Amino acid sequence: MDQILFALLNGTIYGLLLFMVSAGLTLIFGMMGVLNFAHASFYMLGAYFAYTLQPLTGFWLAIILAPILVMGVGILVERFILRHVHEHGHAHELLVTFGLSVVIAEMIKMVYGKFAVDYRVPAELNFAAFSLSGIDYPFYRLFMGGIAVVMFIAIYLLLTKTRVGIVVRSAIYRPQMVEALGHNVPMVFMGVFGIGAALAGLAGAVAGAFYTTNPNMALELGVMVFVVVVVGGLGSMGGAMAASLLIGITNSLAVGSDFRIADILILIGMGGWAEEIGGLLTMRMSSLAATLPFFIMLLVLVLRPSGLMGEKE
Amino acid sequence: MGFQKFARGTAAMALVMGAATAAQAEPLKIALVETLSGPQASTGLLYRDAVKYQIGKINEAGGFGGEPIELLEFDNQGGPVGAADRVRAAISEGATVILQGSSSAVAGQVTEDVRKYNLRNAGNEVIYINLGGEAMELTGSKCHYYHFRTSPNAAIRVNTLLDGMKEADVLGDNVYAMNQNYSWGVDVQDNTVAAADRLGFTVVEQTLHDVNKIQDFSPYVQRIQAADADTVITGNWSNDLLLLMKAASGAGIDARFGTAFLDQPGNIGNAGAVAEGHFLSAPFNPEVNPEETAPFMEDYKSVTGHYPSYVEPATVFGMMLLQEALKEVEPTENGLNAADLAVALENATAETPMGTISMRGADHQAILPMIVQEVSLDAQYKADDTEYGFVPIKVISAADAEQPVQDSCQMKRPG
């Protein structure tokens, strides 16, 4: 029982982390129709900025300042790169962001070296929140989950309950009309891009200390974030949340399970045959855990191409 | 008139130059086919530093046949496909010796390519020196006459590690085998299980997981805890090792880790106190034989800018074996004859700061001393600018570290 409880909790927290990064990606896509390949790079920048600031400002100020810096980078990228490419179409925007992700990764390697840096959870946060049947549960994990939940609520309220949110949402559907009403639509887009980048930066600043801060972190998380956004439905904030949790929890439960396809076949009397064939049939679920998200993505794309909560195209 | 004169002059020049090259032996070309760009480049670049360092030493001592050795670099971009392509390029540019180290998956591709090339080009063979692919099959079912491994293999790593930990009385009774799901990880797991009876411990559970895809190791840590393990033996490297250790420490689990690659740069810096007390078995430790090792450390630093660590010392030692073998070979008018070098390499021994290393003729596996070491505050050389480093616990001589030749190695010898 405790095992399953832990697995659920672990999965939820990991899912919330995925949400923190994918929230910005899906926000930007929903708003501007740009699939931003460099998004996970903003996550990496957040971690490295916080690592650099921590000795100067302390941990708390570092995780506040780092996202602001990343927002600055995001705004510059939108203003001076994406806006110029926009008129040439989506393919060009895609290529520009892809190139940008490579450039950012190489620059990080030049400045900080090729190996992981020692950005760690500060000692005052490094304690066990509670203990269940001999396993401590690190407080910092709950802290990361908490930040993600706060972030979700804040974005949701901002988009649905405020004037700014109304302008932003209408700018997606009828940009000309919104412009005619006197709102600065390019400015709105720039702001959205900046905020999206800042959210990824915040995730990086917080999670980089818990996991590792290395030049490959964008690559490692980037793929998973795209899976989340596709499964959740491009542009849907609620979908991103649902998909993050789904992937986090299935992943965590699968690791703990020794289930094999052969075990089902035994029930219908084909166990011996399955053992003989081996291969995929006798592979333990636990060694396939990291592959499951891609399987889920495949299922979603086949059965519901617009994603769990995506709008029908 | 002017043109004729020019043409005649050029022709004469060409003749003279042609004669000059014919009189001299071709310089020996050695190709390093490594991952020099992309996410996995960090290890590849360490191999390059170490190879460059020792080839520099060989050239200082006169090179080969009176000519400096030429080092060609090829970027395999981290995968077997890129490696296959680069090996072809290296051979067509005249390389007779191919060096490669990071990843057993890539090593498997390179060794097969070299074997097939040699089958088709008898009399014109190339040699593959495997600096770090440690999967058993490379000196087992895939072994062939022109492949030489200068690094330890999974059996040597795991058995020396377990012996050292047993002797230091930290192994415990319950051992958990946690490994990456590919040839190397499976080998580590198999060797851990095989040693259970000899050393009197129980393998409580074995887990294979995806390679470098997992961010969150806490579900795995939960399994370690549920299995009540005293020790975790793992062949994991890079992020898979770091995240596993950090997750275990975060969960308050006091299982000790026995590892093969804890000395990778950045690991100790990132893990900090979490790594303290964990074990490593590696072919080098800077505190062993200080009167010979300290000058080596300083010299290496003066050439490359950093102390040798991780794969670098073993690579330098492997290149020393090549250096000794080259001394036994006479250059022909076509440069180096690979068949002659293979004979010399089979019988090569080299004196390294860690002791004598030698090549075993039966399967072309290097026999080398291993040092079981622990992460501690008392280390003389600190890792990654932290207060931690590796303290030698037990030096296992080359003879004791040796593991039997695998039956699956059916080596076809020429003649």
pLDDT tens, residue by residue, A103-120? 999 899 889 988 888 888
**Residues on chain A touching B214 (C-beta within 8 angstroms):** 289-290
> Could you give the CA distance from residue B190 to residue B177 in angstroms, rounded to a whole number?
9
Contact A290 B209 (CB under 8 A): yes
Q: Which residues pair with A285 in a beta bridge?
A: none
**Residues on chain A touching B265 (C-beta within 8 angstroms):** 115
On whether residue A248 sits in a domain, the answer given is: yes
Both ends of chain A: CA-CA distance in Å? Answer: 43
On whether residue B11 sits in a domain, the answer given is: no
Check if the beta carbon of residue B13 is closer than 8 Å to that of residue B32: no
Check if the beta carbon of residue A44 is closer than 8 Å to that of residue A26: no
Check if the beta carbon of residue A44 is closer than 8 Å to that of residue A29: no
Contact A116 B41 (CB under 8 A): no
Residue whose C-alpha is closest to residue A137's, from B274, B215, B250: B250
Interface test with A, best of B217, B218, B268, B309 (most A CBs within 10 A): B218
Q: How far is A219 from chain B (nearest CA, A)?
A: 8
On whether residue A119 sits in a domain, the answer given is: yes
Interface test with B, best of A115, A142, A284 (most B CBs within 10 A): A115
> Could you give the CA distance from residue B28 to residue B97 in angstroms, rounded to a whole number?
9
Number of domains in chain B: 2
On whether residue A279 sits in a domain, the answer given is: no
pLDDT attached to residue A40? 92
Predicted confidence (pLDDT) at residue A234 exceeds the cutoff of 90? no
On whether residue B112 sits in a domain, the answer given is: yes
Kindly indicate the confidence band of residue B48, based on its pLDDT and cuts at 50, 70 and 90.
Answer: very high
On whether residue A270 sits in a domain, the answer given is: no
Residues B253, B297 within the same domain: no
| Shortest CA distance from B239: residue in chain A | A212
Residues B119, B217 within the same domain: no
Q: How far is A44 from chain B (nearest CA, A)?
A: 14
Contact B250 A140 (CB under 8 A): yes
Residues B227, B315 within the same domain: no
Give me B115's structure tokens: 């074997």
Kindly indicate the confidence band of residue B21, based on its pLDDT and cuts at 50, 70 and 90.
Answer: very low
Kindly indicate the confidence band of residue B366, based on its pLDDT and cuts at 50, 70 and 90.
Answer: very high
Interface test with B, best of A8, A139, A255 (most B CBs within 10 A): A255
Residue whose C-alpha is closest to residue B41's, from B79, B80, B72: B79
Pick from B39, B213, B246: CB nearest A290: B213
- Give ∠ CA B170-B297-B379 in degrees, rounded to 5: 30
Pick from A134, A212, A219: CB nearest B270: A212
Pick from B41, B208, B226: CB nearest A287: B208
Interface test with B, best of A211, A219, A223, A252 (most B CBs within 10 A): A211
Percent of chain B whose predicted confidence (pLDDT) is above 90: 67
pLDDT attached to residue A312? 52
User: What backbone phi and psi angles, to 5 degrees, belong to A213?
Assistant: -105, 100
On whether residue A155 sits in a domain, the answer given is: yes
On whether residue B22 sits in a domain, the answer given is: no
pLDDT attached to residue B40? 76
> What CATH number is attached to the domain comprising B214?
3.40.50.2300
What range defines the domain where residue A129 resides? Answer: 2-259
**Residues on chain A touching B222 (C-beta within 8 angstroms):** 3, 6-7, 10, 135, 256
Q: What is the ipTM of this complex?
A: 0.78
Mean pLDDT of A181-203: 91
Contact A116 B267 (CB under 8 A): yes
The total number of residues shown for chain B amounts to 415
Predicted confidence (pLDDT) at residue B173 exceeds the cutoff of 50? yes
Residues B351, B362 within the same domain: yes
On whether residue A295 sits in a domain, the answer given is: no
Average of per-residue pLDDT values in chain B: 89
On whether residue A140 sits in a domain, the answer given is: yes
Residues B164, B275 within the same domain: yes
Residues B67, B54 within the same domain: yes
Pick from B219, B266, B384: CB nearest A255: B219
pLDDT attached to residue B22? 43
On whether residue B113 sits in a domain, the answer given is: yes
Both ends of chain B: CA-CA distance in Å? Answer: 60
Kindly indicate the confidence band of residue A97, based on its pLDDT and cuts at 50, 70 and 90.
Answer: very high
- CB-based contact (8 Å) between B267 and chain A? yes
Q: Which residues pair with B206 in a beta bridge?
A: B177
**Residues on chain B touching A6 (C-beta within 8 angstroms):** 218, 222
Predicted confidence (pLDDT) at residue A259 exceeds the cutoff of 50? yes
Kindly indicate the confidence band of residue B9, based on its pLDDT and cuts at 50, 70 and 90.
Answer: low
On whether residue B167 sits in a domain, the answer given is: yes
Contact B218 A10 (CB under 8 A): yes
User: What backbone phi and psi angles, to 5 degrees, belong to B394?
Assistant: -155, 130
pLDDT attached to residue B7? 56
On whether residue B20 sits in a domain, the answer given is: no
What range defines the domain where residue B117 resides? Answer: 29-152+289-367
- Cα distances from A308 to residues A244, B112, B242, in angstroms, run 11, 46, 34
Give me B119's structure tokens: 């089958």
Mean pLDDT of B84-94: 93
Mean pLDDT of A191-198: 92
DSSP letter string over chain A?
A: -HHHHHHHHHHHHHHHHHHHHHHHHHHHHHHH----TTHHHHHHHHHHHHHHHHHHH-HHHHHHHHHHHHHHHHHHHIIIIIHHHHTT-HHHHHHHHHHHHHHHHHHHHHHH-SS-B-----GGG-SEEEEETTEEEEHHHHHHHHHHHHHHHHHHHHHHHSHHHHHHHHHHH-HHHHHHTT--HHHHHHHHHHHHHHHHHHHHHHHHHHS-B-TTHHHHHHHHHHHHHHHH-TT-HHHHHHHHHHHHHHHHHHHT----HHHHHHHTT-HHHHHHH-GGGG--GGGGGGGHHHHHHHHHHHH-TT-SSPPP-
| Shortest CA distance from B211: residue in chain A | A290
Residues B249, B393 within the same domain: yes
> Could you give the CA distance from residue B333 to residue B112 in angstroms, rounded to a whole number?
29
Contact B243 A116 (CB under 8 A): no
Return the axis-axis angle of helices A2-32 and A163-173, rounded to nearest 10°: 60
Contact A224 B215 (CB under 8 A): yes
Give me A180's structure tokens: 């005619």
**Residues on chain A touching B267 (C-beta within 8 angstroms):** 116
Pick from A6, A115, A287: CB nearest B181: A287
Number of domains in chain A: 1
> Could you give the CA distance from residue B33 to residue B31 in angstroms, rounded to a whole number?
6
On whether residue B207 sits in a domain, the answer given is: yes
> Could you give the CA distance from residue A287 to residue B327 in angstroms, rounded to a whole number?
48
Residues B109, B176 within the same domain: no
What would the pLDDT profile of A53-76 be if each residue is shown by its tens digit?
999 999 999 999 999 999 999 999
Q: Which residues pair with B179 in a beta bridge?
A: B208
On whether residue A268 sits in a domain, the answer given is: no
The 3-state secondary structure of chain B, one letter per residue:
CHHHHHHHHHHHHHHHHHHHHHHCCCCCEEEEEECCCCCCHHHHHHHHHHHHHHHHHHHHCCCECCECCEEEEEECCCCHHHHHHHHHHHHHCCCCEEEECCCHHHHHHHHHHHHHHHHHCCCCCCEEEECCCCCHHHHCCCCCCCEEECCCCHHHHHHHHHHHHHHCCCCCCEEEEEEECCHHHHHHHHHHHHCHHHHCCEEEEEEEECCCCCCCCHHHHHHHHHCCCCEEEECCCCHHHHHHHHHHHHCCCCCEEEECCCCCCCHHHHHHHHHCCCEEEECCCCCCCHHHHHHHHHHHHHHHCCCCCCCHHHHHHHHHHHHHHHHCCCCECCECCHHHHHHHHHCCEEEECCEEEEECCCCCEEECCEEEEEEECCCCCECCCCCCEEEEEEEECHHHHCCCCCCCCCCCCCC
Mean pLDDT of B41-70: 92
Q: Which residues pair with B64 in a beta bridge?
A: B67
> Could you give the CA distance from residue A186 to residue B215 in angstroms, rounded to a whole number?
37
Q: Which amino acid is at B116?
A: K
On whether residue B413 sits in a domain, the answer given is: no
> Could you give the CA distance from residue B262 to residue B249 in angstroms, rounded to a whole number?
15
What is the pTM (predicted TM-score) of this model? 0.83
Q: Which amino acid is at B393?
A: I
Residues B144, B65 within the same domain: yes
- Those residues whose C-beta lies under 8 Å from the C-beta of residue A153, and which sit 6 or more positions away, are none
> Could you give the CA distance from residue B257 to residue B234 in angstroms, rounded to a whole number?
7
